[in-house]
Amino acid sequence: MASQKHAILVAGGSGKRMESSTPKQFIELKGKPILMHSILAFLRFDSSIKITVVLPENQIPVWDTLCKKHNFNNAHEVVKGGLERFHSVKNGLNSIDEDGGVVAIHDGVRPLVSVETLARCYDGAENKGNAIPVIDVHETIRKINGNISQSVSRESYKLVQTPQCFDVRVIKTAFEQAYHPNFTDDASVAEANGATINLVEGNRENIKITTPSDLRIAEAFFVNK
């Protein structure tokens, strides 16, 4: 029998880079807040996923109001965020009572993750303990060292996306570590605790919406959905 699937959607943005007073996860995209689209992406993949949304404490009443306004009745738990993303994810993990299963940790402003990417992430974690989605680097890249730049092979690099999926027990243990600024994503936390990270194919449309141009790109992608 397949393991229980969980999803933690972390949404702690303010809207500063979006040049908006509205937190970016609450900005409307095709008639709904971006965060709602992100939740629905998981439920389209598997309606039995147990979803936890992590928000700054002062944004939780706003989210409740938006759910009423949009008749958004899809079951989910809301958890208070922390000082850094690390602490917000830890709070989300602590809300999971079960010790077993697979949890996906996802940016709340990535509403265009595909069903296929979700399947690869959950299946990879089910089989190997973890899986994170990546895409190829298409641009030429250069490494900066002081005042010197050097061309490097883009074949040696990947762009990392979310959701990052893990065995619940393993990632909970990893998040018992003290916070470190080098923890730029959940995989780096697991890696610091001894895990070998497994890569699976992501989808290029799965962008993180943080700027006005990102929003326009997302709107274009949604035309075909």
**Which sign does the torsion angle of CA 159, 162, 167, 168 carry?**
positive
Cβ–Cβ < 8 Å for 154, 137: yes
Query: What predicted TM-score, i.e. pTM, was given to this entire model?
Result: 0.94
Least confident of 3-17, 57-71, 120-134, 174-188: 3-17
pLDDT of residue 99: 77
| Predicted confidence (pLDDT) per residue in 39-82, tens digit | 999 999 999 999 999 999 999 999 999 999 999 999 999 999 99
Q: Which CATH superfamily is domain 5-222 in?
A: Spore Coat Polysaccharide Biosynthesis Protein SpsA; Chain A (3.90.550.10)
| Residue found by looking up tokens 């959950």 in the block | 122
In whole angstroms, give the CA distance from residue 205 to residue 161.
10
